[in-house]
Structure 1
Amino acid sequence: MLGGYLNQDSDIWGETVEEIVSCFKRERDSSPEEIRDTLAEIEKFRREAGEKLDEKIYDAYGFDFNPVLWGYTTSSFLDELAKILTT
């Protein structure tokens, strides 16, 4: 989802994180299984990153995505993604 929706071209999908993630949820490719997989990836990322969450998100996405630019910490951003995906 980060690479495909929350990237430099995210304005195609919406103006806010909620609009963009909601668009992801509505897309034909976002089956319930894919949403479950995305939630599992979020949790796996958290577990593997541990206390280095900010560093790991930067390593993974570099200049393509930065939660701070959206008004979040890395942790609060992942919380928000999970919340939107489960509602």
Structure 2
Amino acid sequence: MHTLSKRDTPIRFNELKRSINITSTTLSRRLEELVDVGFLNREAFAEVPLRVEYSQSEKGKGLGKILSDLFSWMSENLNHSEEKSN
């Protein structure tokens, strides 16, 4: 979700797989779960080979904003914690 929240355009399976270093099986399962709960849109194109693109749904964009804020907060607070302990 975090990787997709940083994009304005759809992403293909292999491009996403390369960007997050994950096995195909695990990525397939996670994408299916995210589509099932409505966080992602899946669009399959009638081409050979089959082309599938994933994009954030409106529900997913809301979650992406929350995750982005959370990662920013973690980054700021983890850096501050390390500085205080040194």
Q: Structure 1 length normalisation: TM-score?
A: 0.31
Q: Which has the larger radius of gyration?
A: 2
Higher helix share: 1
Higher strand share: 2
